[in-house]
Each structure stands twice: as structure tokens, then as C-alpha cells.
Structure 1
Amino acid sequence: MSTRNADLNRRGFLYGTAAGSALIALHPFSARAAGTQAHLRIMETTDLHVHVFPYDYYSDQPRDTVGLARTASIIKDIRAQATNSLLIDNGDFLQGNPMGDYIAYERGMKDGDMHPIITAMNQMDFDASTLGNHEFNYGLDFLMKSIAGSAFPVLSANVVLEQGASPTADKTLVKPYTILDRMITDGSGTSHPIKIGLIGFVPPQIMTWDRRHLEGNVTARDIIQTAQAFVPEIKEQGADIIIALSHSGIGEMNASDGMENASVPLAALDGIDVILTGHHHRTFPGPDYDANDVIDPVAGTIHGKPAVMGGFWGSHLGLIDLMLDHDGGQWRVITHSAETRPISKRNEDRSITPLVESDPDVLASVSDIHDGTLAYIRRAVGKTSAPLHSYFALVADDPSVQIVSNAQSWYIKQMLVDTEFSDLPILSAAAPFKAGGRGGAEYYTDVPIGDVAIKNVADLYLYPNTVRAVKVTGAQLKDWLERSAGMFNQITPRQADQVLLNPDFPSYNFDVIDGVSYQIDLSQPSKFDPKGMLINPDANRIIDLTFDGAPVDPAQEFIIATNNYRAGGGGDFPGAKGDTIVFEAPDTNRDVIVRYIIDQGTIEPSADGNWRFAPMPDTSVLFDTGPKAMTYISDVDMQIEQTGDGSDGFTRLRIQL
């Protein structure tokens, strides 16, 4: 590490000394620490997704619920409350909003260029980061050029260039771990050396999600097996404490090979003292997770060890406080606490109140990139004759999903001309990416009649996926739709006001397939669980499945236009396991949508109503959506009415089936 980088990291660790913060009350751990004890404060950001400014580029307006510049203001105060502190990012920082796309697709990254999120993180004196799964979305060359400018180590132990006999013999893409040699101040004001080990992990599913970039270039090892190999080595190198930077959610209790959300069994490993989690876009401690024998969502512990998940897009700062004791020749944790600090709060009237202002230095560090992003997103590419919105995308055929399907079909038809597949029927699968959920009551696509700009296309299609085409049978097609229908709870006939949506089912896995017609029978149980496992083999939610007016033959063959994530196995859909791909496009789905709009001039995005719920007399369900949905409620061909307020700013609707 350069002298400059070392100075930056040391300053980040010692910034909050009591001498420099006389006007701010010390944390109780700092105030009570004895001569052999020291307070260490660990701050975590996670899943930033390039959100530096408190700005929603999709709606082109400020937003008080996001932004690393806001989180930075919290960090300054928190550093001042502790005698010793670390600031760590837990991954998914390079991709996720139009600023990231502007850098990747418009400006580019040449050797020596600075990525804006790295610039902002350098400004804030981060001590370390780990790679998240979205760091790979733009390819390895872009990733490595982007992190080259970081004034802090970027870690990942399980992404491997060349595998050895064991993980510790691997040649990894970036450093697997680092040991920070620091001076820590005890309760008497005396400084002592301490070695802090940091090790990073990413879900091995990156090999599926970004196969086009990674296959043949890197491999990904299992998180738990990798940790079991490296943690003893880090201890042997003299680490007093070890912090796991786990860009992996809080999931199953027991380890299984290649698991995506491995933070719970990771916390069980001897030698790991602290778990920083992410990937789930939730907060921990807090009500997002249920308590059990090993998870305490009130105290913020997993297997008794402090753990934190600091929201997403800069919405929260994760915070762990450790009281350390110098016992013999080594520091050890004797007590701890965990919490998250939000940057905003939602009021009873649904309005948002910011709790902090933006750090002007962080804003200034990337202001030119912000301006460039605004110009990038405001370019008009065509017009729409009807509004494009996703408020009802989970309960009815929807214009925002329809336009994506239309564009994909239009593109694949051209690509398959004069191929062996040109005579097969072409269908298109698309899902609503912005449909509320964890993103909140404002997290919906809403494009008015008139000009359609690049910002609107990014809003319609959130991720930089590339187009794929797969060949499936009629049987696989039906099961693909059965998998999608897991979005809904089983509904009992002739009962009122049953909750419709399964909260564990993400909207991006609710594929609508255009080119066929079908109904969903909600009285049937789901054939698959939210993760895609077969649980009810005899269930048949998908009924009246037809193509060109005739029932679909199980042996009939179809082409389905989709994206690289789905075609490569993302979401675990029948017919989309990576072995049915017949065409891999060089173009992103967003680029295809832009080309389609330009080709059409004015698009007419009215949904064609190819799917609906099977009628269930005297039965009603409840569905939460964004408040702005009421503007469009008369356009929905369903018996639907508003019943009042849902939770967290949503509006609750009743649908008569």
C-alpha cells in the first residue's frame, strides 16, 4: 500500500479521537473503557449501487431516502463519538443506477480513470471493501480499472483466477484478506498495536448471473469452505480479531454447498468475531428477520456474534461497537452492540423527513459525473401514446412489462431470421423490476404520455442484462409459468380479503410470457417454492394455456426471448437452466428497448391481456401498491377498489376474483 493510502486508512481509524471531538459525547464504551480496554466502532455501508447523490435518476428528482453523501454526515458524528473506528463497505457499489450505466456505457473506464463511487469512498476515508455480485455486471476489465483507484483494499476470498489444491493456494482475482496494523487507544489514553483481519466473500452464483463475463476467466468457490481454509491462516498471521465482509444474506441455518446466503453458517465458524452482511437489501438488527436459536434480531447477533446489515443505496449505516480487552498478548471482544442508523424517516402522512444533510465534500467530489449522468438520462428517444406504469404489474397484464416483451420479441425475430429456429413460435418473458416491495411505496415505473428518454428506459429495465433466447417444450413453458405463479398465496374460495402476494417472492421472478394466453387458478397450491424447488408436483395453477387459440401441446417447441440472468439459471426456472440457450445477443435489453422505441417512433404500450386470474366467485384478495396507482385504477380490467392505507406508505386495494 502506498504511503498516501496508508495515511488515508490511518486517518479513517483515528479520526474520532476524543481530543478532536470535545463537543460530542463519547459512546459509553469509550467513556467507560478501563486501562486494559479499548472501544472499537465498526461502520458498514452495503449495496450502495452507485447512489452517491440523494437523487433518483429514474424519476429525475431529488430523493431523501438514498445517497452515500447523506450517510457520510452520519459517519462524521459517529467517528467523533469513539476513540477508534473503522469504515467498511460490504459490496455492490459499481452498478445499480444510471450513474453506473453512464460510466460503463457512455464515458467508459480507461486506465487511470476514477470511478465516481470510488472517488466518493476515497473522500470518506473507507478502510476496506469487498466485492459484491453486481461488481461483475460490466465485465472484469471494467471492474479492475474501477477499483484500481481505491485508496483502500478491495477483498474477495472466493473469486479465483487459478485454483490451487485448497483455497489458500488459489490465485484470487483480488486480495482474499488483509490485516490492518493499527494503533488503538485504550481507556487511559495509551495507544497499543492491534491487528484487525478482514476477509471478503461473494455469492458463488456470480458464475451463473454473469456467465458471459466470467466463464473461462474466473471460478467461484463455496463461501464456507473458503472461510474454513482462510480464517486459520489469518489467525496465524497474528490477527487479534477477524471481521467477515459477507456480501451474502442472512438465510439458511446450516451450510450447503454453493449456498447464496451463507452469513449464518459463516458466523458459526471459530475465529470470526464480527459479521458484516448485505445482498438482501434489508436491515439487521431489526424486524426484517425472525428470531430463532441462533439469530437475535433485537441484539443484532448471529451465533452470539455481532452482525449488521446496513440497508441499501445508503439508506442506513450499519454500526457495531466492540469493547475489547487486552488479555495477555492479544485483544479479545468482551462485549458488543449492533444497530443501524437511517438517513431519513417516514412520517404518518407518508412524507419523508431527512435526518441528515448531504456532506458537501462528497457531493463536490463527483458533481461533474452527476451532471453528466443528468444529461445522459434526459435524451429523448421516442414517444409513448399511453402511460407506462407498473402499479398493477403483479395483478394484471401491464404496459410497462408489455413494452419490454414487445421489444425482446421484435429483436429476437430479426436475430433468428434464416436460422434453424426461424420457424418456431417466438414468445417473450419479462418481469416487473420496480413493483414496490422492499424498494418502498415510490418504487414503481411511471412514465407519462409523451417523450420517452433514456432515463425512462432505465426505469423500465433496471439491470444491464443482455438478451438471450432459449428453446423450450410446451411442458417446460407451462412449468416456467407455474414457477412465476409462486408470486401468489393460495386463496380459499368464498373467503374475503385474503393477502394475495407472497412476501418472500421477489417481483423480478414474476415472469409474464407473451405470445400465449393463460389463466392462474389461485385456489391451487404453488407448484414451486419461492426459491424454485418443486414442492407440489401435482399442482396446476396454470390453466387454459393456449397458443394461437389452441391448447399448448407438451411436446410443442417454442423460442422464448429473455435475458442472460434468467436463461443462465437465475431464479431456477424450468426450461431456463443454461442448457436451453440458442442465441446469445451482444446487446443489452435496455439497448434493444431503445432501438425498438426509435424504430416505432411512437409506441403504443397497451397490455394485450394475455393472462388473468381464473374467476373465483364471492372471493376477494388484498393487494398493496403505490399511492399513485389511483391515477390509473380505472384502466385496470378488474373489479378493484381502494380499502385504505397499507404499511410503510403503500395503498391497499381489494380485488374481487
Structure 2
Amino acid sequence: MPIHLSRRHFLAASGAAMATLHPYSLRAASNQAHLRIMETTDLHVHVFPYDYYADRPVDTLGLSRTASLIEGIRSEATNSILFDNGDLLQGNPMGDYIAYERGMEPGQTHPVINAMNTLDYACGTLGNHEFNYGLPFLANALEGAAFPLVCANVAVKLGATPLQDETLIAPYVILDREITLGDGSVKPIKLGVIGFVPPQIAAWDRAHLEGKVVVREIVEAAAAYVPQMKAEGADVIIALCHSGIGEAEAVADQENAAIPLAATPGIDVVLMGHAHRVFPGTDYEGTEGVDTVAGTVSGKPAVMPGFWGSHMGLVDLMLEHDGTAWKIAGASVEARPIWIRDADNKVVPTVGDVAVVQAAAQTEHDATLAYVRRAVGQTSAPLYSYFALVADDPSVQIVSQAQLWYVAQLLQGTEYESLPLLSAAAPFKAGGRSGPDYYTDVPAGDIAIKNVADLYLYPNTVQAVLVDGTQLKNWLERSAGMFNQIEAGAQDAPLLNPTFPSYNFDVIDGVTYQIDLTQPAMFETDGTVANPDANRIINLQYNGAPVTADQKFVIATNNYRAGGGGSFPGADGSTRVLIAPDTNRDALVRYIVEEGTINPTADGNWSFAPLPDTTVTFETGPKAVDYVDQVQTIAIEHVGDGENGFALFRIAL
């Protein structure tokens, strides 16, 4: 069947419609064809343009908005095809409602799959978050898809080579299509589509996957399967790479493998995801092997369209047939947004909603709203994360209190009961690439499930690890990579490292410590050691006494961190002493129910070491001005507007 409408349709269309055609469609010769490849990625169950945590509509996300781009984008090209790059099933309260409340039985269709089925997807792949709810849930969800899904590097049984693996789902698919040429005639083409997921899923979801699946390196799997796809006649090979841009060469356990994957002979186009960034664009300027203007990775056209439906990824190919084979004669790349900012930094939507997409998930949307609005207790003070990266914070404090309460009960009667119990928690909603409204902000009073989900975004499970004093200190050194090195006497120096994710900024409760910003960071953002002799963490104490190197501690955390997520010293999967059956979020709900009224006031157990005559600045959400006077542990003042809708604040150190 044709990939899309024939050129004859466009010749009969209005002059206005003709004017929108891409140059490749306009100038394609009789042996050429314009193929437009479209990509969505990291939807994370966002069908509606709705923030369930804040319980309000928003204009920056939602498949129903991204879908508004699709018909217009298709009308610009003689031939088009649509793919998804994974992370569909988890990421907002609708995903949790389906997993924990409604369930996912055989014959039921997941709402995000149901919505996607209205849009004529040709193929998709799995993201790492597809595994968060377990393999039976995943299998039942995929059953409802009206399009194939592929993943080449996850196997239920390993063979001697990747080609002998028994993969969890099909490693690739060859799509037989007919493509319309410049003269209106059609010609057959075989599109090979292969998918990949980060190998870290084996650690991140160990509880669901251990003993059930094994994961190969992305580049290893590609090197094996791509020649086979070529042998089966694939004319163009498209890699659905649920992985971002990282090291230039293939390395062991490579999470972001797009550069060496794109360099794999035979791969023609790379559709990227996982990193929640936009490419082409400025995010990867200066990265070896990447052209951020042309939109190429290792010389191949590649795109990454943000997250939550924020962009549609477009790769336009001018294909040319020489009488025996197809080749790519030209390519252009774009990540097209569903919203922009105006001159006043206000969000302006560029599209509306597609009713049929919303209708496909309306029942579950309504049920999710009822689910998140249930009250489970009260909070005596507001819960907000505007200052979570610069001062001890109530939104992180309450998570730690719940983890300590939960883990202490499970350690009773064990050999670890008498050891000091600490808790590691990080701020998940702290602005960054997600924008100036991406913060927790819960007023004092009733606290509902939506507020709990807002405090703890992910369905992680509670775990605990055993560490010594050195590992504890270096765990905190790893977290302190959040901050730039500051010279004593500096004025308004930028404080926060923009490449450091907030979910890796662990605050450890149960000890007190200071952070010396004049020291370099011990670790790079990715967790590799940069300065082994660095000493940012000072005055580390437990019960008022200095922590010693051989002192033992149990740290309550989550399965992601305990299994090696973030590359933290003392947390590599081998130090776990507790693997609990409940999610951190469930523990938080139980704690609130048990307490009735929680007191989330931060205890100020960490701070910056004083630096006389030194000031730093940081950006946070503009609503932070309502809470700045409540921060008691550090002197913060609002100094004006930041960039892209953020507010700028100053700290006198």
C-alpha cells in the first residue's frame, strides 16, 4: 500500500495546499521520492494537555496536541510514515491508575495505546519505563497496539550470538510499502525498522526482570541484526533508538549510545529519545560526532523530539532509485514544537487538540481525575520544591521521613536493626528543561493522592543499602556535582550545573554536613571520577560526632539508586540489605495516613560552608517569591526575571 496519498491528490488540491509542500516533494524527479519520517517519543502517558499533579490544563504537552501537527505535516510531503520511540506506559498518574487501580487484563486496551491507534503509527519500540510495572502488564498493554513494536537487545533467552537470541518481542520488522515518485508513479520500497532500549533496565527494574530477561549492548545488537535486515532486502534502515547522545565510541553498559549506533554500517536514520532533549538544537553543541545545525549524528540524519509530546520529530529524505536500488540523495531534520514563548515569556500553543485522540482515552482521563483527587491526610505546612536545589527542603524532607518510618519497621528483628538508619531522597520536580512551572507546590491543608504523586513521580520500590563512612561521604560528593565550583569573593556566580539532573541530587537525612563550593566536584555529571582528591563534603557528622571511614550505616532509598542508577558510591546492586515489596509512593501514602497530619518542615541538616563576601545566583519558578521568607537556613533574595519564564534569586554565602 502507498505510504501516504499519491502526488495526483496534491495536484488536484488548492494552490494554498500546494504552497505547503516540502521542497523535496516539489522537485522530486521521476526516479526520486520524498519520504517524511515522523517521530514521537517519551509520551509518558500524556494523551491530554493536562497536569494531573497540579490538576489543571497546560499547553506544553499531550499527544492530542502533537496529533494536531500530524495531518499538516503529512500534507507537506508526498509520502510520510509515523513512528514512536518508547516510554509510553508510565510517567503520570494515568499510568499509575491503569497499573494499580484499573489493572491491565488481556483484551483491555491501554489508553495511550488506544489514542495512538487513531493516528496510523507504522511501528514503535520499547522505552526503559515500559518495564516499570512488570512483564505481564507490558505484554497485555502491547496486545492492544494496532502497529508492531520492535526491540533487538532484550531477550528472554540468550544465544551464542544476538541472532540466536530469543528476544522478548520482534527485534525488527521489514515494512513493505509503495512510495510515490516525482512523476506520480509508485514503486515498492522496503523499510527496515529496528528498536533498542538502554541496557540499564536490568538494574533499574531488577525486581521485575531478574531471571526473566537479559539485555545486550545496543551497538552489539545493531551490528548483528542490521546485516540480516539488509540481506532480507531492507532499502532504508531506521533505528528507533530509545537512547540519547553520549560517548562518541561504544563503551560497556552504554545508556546513551546514539553516536556509535548511528555509525553502524547500514543504519540510515536514527530516531532518538530517552534523554528528554531536543535535537537538532543547542543542547548538544560541541559534542563530537554531532552536527546540531544539520541534524546529523555520525553523519546520519537524526532527531530527538523532546518529551511528553512537546515536539514532533521530522526527518525528510530525498530518495533516489538508480534502476536497481534506493539511495538517500538528501536529508533535512527538524523538531517541530507544539508551543512557543512570546516576547513576554508566556507559553503560546501553536496547535489545538484532536478530538478523536482525546475520545480514545476520555474514560480513563476522567477516572484518573477522580483517583488523584482523593484526600489521604493533611499537611501542617506547605510542600514546595522551589528551593530544593539550594537549601534543605520540605518536599524532600517528607519523602525521607516516610522512608525512614517504613524501612525502620522492616529492619526490626534483623541484624541491621541496631545500625544508624539514614534516608536518601532527591527533588524530582525542580524546573530545568521541564520549565518554570515544573515544581511541587502544595498548600497547607488536605493532601491528596495527586499531591503524593507530585512529591514522588516514579513507581520506584523501596530498598535499603549498607554503606561505610567513606561510601556515605562519597555518595554526598556525587550529589554535590549539582553545583558549579565557586571562587571565594565571587559576585553573582551561577550556582547550579545545568547538565546535572535534579533526581541525582540526593539529600541524606539522619546526618549533618556542609558543602564547600570552592572545591571542584569529585564526579562528572555521568558519575565518572573527575577529581578523586576533591573534598566538597565537610563536617559530616552523625549524632554530633564526626563520621568515621569504617562506620556502618543503612540508607533507605529506591530500587533505581540501590541498583546502580546514577552511579553512586555504595549503591551498585551489591550492597542491598532490604528489597521491599512496596513503592516509595505507597510508603509515603501509608505514612501520611498513619500520621493523619504531617509536619514537613525542613530540619536544615545540610548547608553551604560560609564564604565571606561571596554571592551566587540561581533560577527557579516565579512562584518561589511566595515562599522565600520561609527559608530559614540561608539568605535568599529575589533579584528579578531569569530566562524562559524563570525567576532569578541571589544567595549571600
Q: Output the TM-score relative to the length of structure 1.
A: 0.97
SS at structure 1 position matched to 2:117: helix
Change (3 A) 1:16 1:96: farther
Match of 2:9 in 1: 19
> Which aligned segments of 4 or more residues in structure 1 are displaced greater than 3 angstroms?
15-18
Asked if residue 103 in structure 1 is aligned to residue 94 in structure 2, the reply is: no
Q: 2:642 aligns with which of 642, 646, 650?
A: 646
Change (3 A) 1:165 1:624: same
Counterpart CA distance in 2 for 1:186 and 1:391 is 54
Q: What displacement does 1:642 show? A: 1.7
Change (3 A) 1:121 1:473: same
Q: What displacement does 1:16 show? A: 7.4
Counterpart amino acid of residue 652 in structure 1? L
Could you tell me whether the CA contact under 8 Å between 1:390 and 1:444 is conserved in 2? yes
Q: 2:140 aligns with which of 135, 145, 151?
A: 145
Q: What displacement does 1:17 show? A: 5.5
Q: 1:136 aligns with which of 117, 124, 131?
A: 131
Q: 1:80 aligns with which of 75, 84, 92?
A: 75
Could you tell me whether the CA contact under 8 Å between 2:477 and 2:536 is conserved in 1? yes
Deviations 1:297-346 (A, max 9, x none): 11111122111001100000000110100112211110010001110111
Q: 2:364 aligns with which of 366, 369, 383?
A: 369
Match of 2:571 in 1: 576
Match of 2:527 in 1: 532
Counterpart CA distance in 1 for 2:522 and 2:289 is 30
Q: 1:490 aligns with which of 458, 466, 485?
A: 485
Asked if residue 590 in structure 1 is aligned to residue 580 in structure 2, the reply is: no
SS at structure 1 position matched to 2:283: coil
Q: What displacement does 1:378 show? A: 0.3
* 1:100-499 equivalences in 2 (<5 Å): 100-292=95-287, 294-499=289-494
Counterpart amino acid of residue 22 in structure 2? H
Match of 1:6 in 2: none
Match of 2:51 in 1: 56
SS at structure 2 position matched to 1:353: strand
Gaps of 5+ in 1: 1-9
Counterpart amino acid of residue 22 in structure 1? A
SS at structure 2 position matched to 1:252: coil
Counterpart CA distance in 2 for 1:565 and 1:15 is 46
Q: What displacement does 1:289 show? A: 1.2
SS at structure 2 position matched to 1:298: coil
Counterpart CA distance in 2 for 1:179 and 1:392 is 50
Gaps of 5+ in 2: none
Q: 1:500 aligns with which of 492, 495, 502?
A: 495
Counterpart amino acid of residue 642 in structure 1? H
Could you tell me whether the CA contact under 8 Å between 1:42 and 1:87 is conserved in 2? yes
Could you tell me whether the CA contact under 8 Å between 2:474 and 2:569 is conserved in 1? yes
SS at structure 1 position matched to 2:203: helix
Match of 1:67 in 2: 62
Counterpart CA distance in 2 for 1:371 and 1:79 is 31
Counterpart amino acid of residue 171 in structure 1? E
Match of 1:38 in 2: 33
Q: What displacement does 1:557 show? A: 1.0
Counterpart CA distance in 1 for 2:64 and 2:6 is 19
SS at structure 2 position matched to 1:38: strand
Could you tell me whether the CA contact under 8 Å between 2:467 and 2:570 is conserved in 1? yes
Q: What displacement does 1:258 show? A: 2.1
Q: What displacement does 1:280 show? A: 0.8
SS at structure 1 position matched to 2:479: helix
Counterpart amino acid of residue 4 in structure 2? L
Q: What displacement does 1:287 show? A: 1.0
Counterpart amino acid of residue 473 in structure 1? D
Could you tell me whether the CA contact under 8 Å between 1:428 and 1:513 is conserved in 2? yes
Tell me the percent identity: 64
SS at structure 2 position matched to 1:467: strand
Counterpart amino acid of residue 342 in structure 1? P
Could you tell me whether the CA contact under 8 Å between 1:17 and 1:82 is conserved in 2? no
Q: What displacement does 1:293 show? A: 5.4
Counterpart amino acid of residue 283 in structure 1? V
Counterpart CA distance in 2 for 1:527 and 1:283 is 29
Counterpart CA distance in 1 for 2:287 and 2:241 is 20
Asked if residue 655 in structure 1 is aligned to residue 651 in structure 2, the reply is: yes
Match of 1:4 in 2: none
Could you tell me whether the CA contact under 8 Å between 1:18 and 1:81 is conserved in 2? no
Deviations 1:499-547 (A, max 9, x none): 1111111000000000111111111111111111222122111111111
Q: 1:614 aligns with which of 592, 597, 609?
A: 609
Could you tell me whether the CA contact under 8 Å between 1:427 and 1:560 is conserved in 2? yes
Match of 1:91 in 2: 86
